Amino acid sequence: MRMVDIIEKKRDGKAVTKEEIDFFVEGYVDGKIPDYQISSLMMAIYFNSMDDDEATHLTEAVLNSGDIIDLSAIEGIKVDKHSTGGVGDKTTLVLGPLVASCGAKFAKLSGRGLGHTGGTLDKLESIPGFNVSLSNEDFVKQVNDLNIAVAGQTAKLAPADKLLYALRDVTGTVPSIPLIAASIMSKKLASGADVIVLDVKIGEGAFMKTLEDARELSRIMVKIGKNFGKKVTAFITDMSQPLGYAVGNKLEVVEAIQTLQGNGPEDLQKLCTEIGSYLVHNAGLSETLKQAREMVEKKYGTLEASDLFKEMVKAQKGEYPDLNDFIHNETLIAVKSEKEGYVKSLNALDIGLSAMRLGAGRETKDDTIDTDVGIVLNKKVGDKVEKDEVLAYVYNNKDDITDEVKTILNAFDITEEYVEKPSLIVEIVE
């Protein structure tokens, strides 16, 4: 078998076989196939795509390139969720304790943030002492004991994905839908969950810009998951504006805790409730989806989920935060509206990039995060605004952020006409 023949086949729009996919994935991981040939193949896939069988075979090859986590020692059905990344997306911090308090086994391996999207591990590590580097034995024990553990992915999990993504990132082939699907699903399948909900974001602050692309990505990932015997559901959700109000690591931890206590933003609570109901129901813990939703909703009022988050923090060596003395920053700047009206749009990408430049995120993998900085929105799409009313607060530790204040102000488009509040959940793909 020759690599050039595989490249030519895909260049000409033909499907490649499982054996050919195994050949180039194994060869690339082993260093036998050079970057320039894989780059050529990735570009051919970008232009000619892959059918469902090819995408499934690629997922399997990437999955088998490294360790597959054995969670069989966890009693019960394991559930997990994955988000394609967004601004202010602290869903895992709320969702995990919610479903775990309903009896689901929430066993999650998470990643770090890069660019304008935040990472769950960075948010959790903003809690002093919180340990995300759990051994497999400790991870399994904690899920058995508490129904929940959130830890970092190991380097041995789907190593082919890391190699392929790094190459795609510098060759302009990241947006290929089957390549995205295989990348996401290989890691989810390697993580060992039985039930998976995928949160596919669309809009300015998301990787997927159109509903058509989000639908296709969701459809392929659900199909791949079912081909592997998993229960998979995809939510397509709006990321044209940030999720919730807080953007920044400690700020998002605070908002997550407030949400678990029943005092969080309506959009965040709604999303966690809906995703949670699918996880609980598909884990066999309710007879109907409606019953599962009722189970999840009750957890806000009883504080069971909030207490479980506290237990998880303690189990992973963290110091549960005093919300009144958790965030330390030099200045708090109010960004005020220059006119009255209604918020017509709020550019999530601009807010996310501004938070990153303040220090809340990484522009490169080696950047250091300032966990105390970020942005807290005071207004969102559909809200009425008066002249000189605060649109957002900037938590800052830098000397001069004049440019960032302008960016945040310009992220708000304010119009005289009344604006309806947008729907967060666009579609659900099963």
> To 10 degrees, what angle do helices 249-260 and 266-282 make?
70
Burial (CB count within 10 angstroms: exposed 0-12, middle 13-18, buried 19+), residue 217: buried
Three-state SS for 252?
helix
Of 111, 109, 171, nearest to 142 by C-alpha is 109
Contact 200, 234 (CB under 8 A): yes
For residue 191, give Cα distances in angstroms to 165, 194, 425. 18, 10, 26
Label the pairing between strands 195-202 and 78-83: parallel
Based on its alpha-carbon atoms, the radius of gyration of the chain, rounded to whole angstroms, reads 22
Of 179, 202, 195, nearest to 74 by C-alpha is 195
φ/ψ of residue 136, rounded to 5: -60, -40
Active site residues: 82, 161, 168, 183, 187
φ/ψ of residue 372, rounded to 5: -90, -10
Tell me the sheet residues that pair with 425.
237
Strand ranges of the sheet holding 105-110, from the earlier edge strand across to the other edge? 148-152, 105-110, 78-83, 195-202, 231-238, 425-429
φ/ψ of residue 345, rounded to 5: -150, 160
Structure tokens at 268: 């965040």
Burial (CB count within 10 angstroms: exposed 0-12, middle 13-18, buried 19+), residue 85: buried
Tell me the sheet residues that pair with 152.
110
What amino acid occupies position 256? A
Rounded distance between C-alpha atoms, residue 305 and residue 298, angstroms: 10
Contact 83, 238 (CB under 8 A): no
Structure tokens at 227: 């081909």
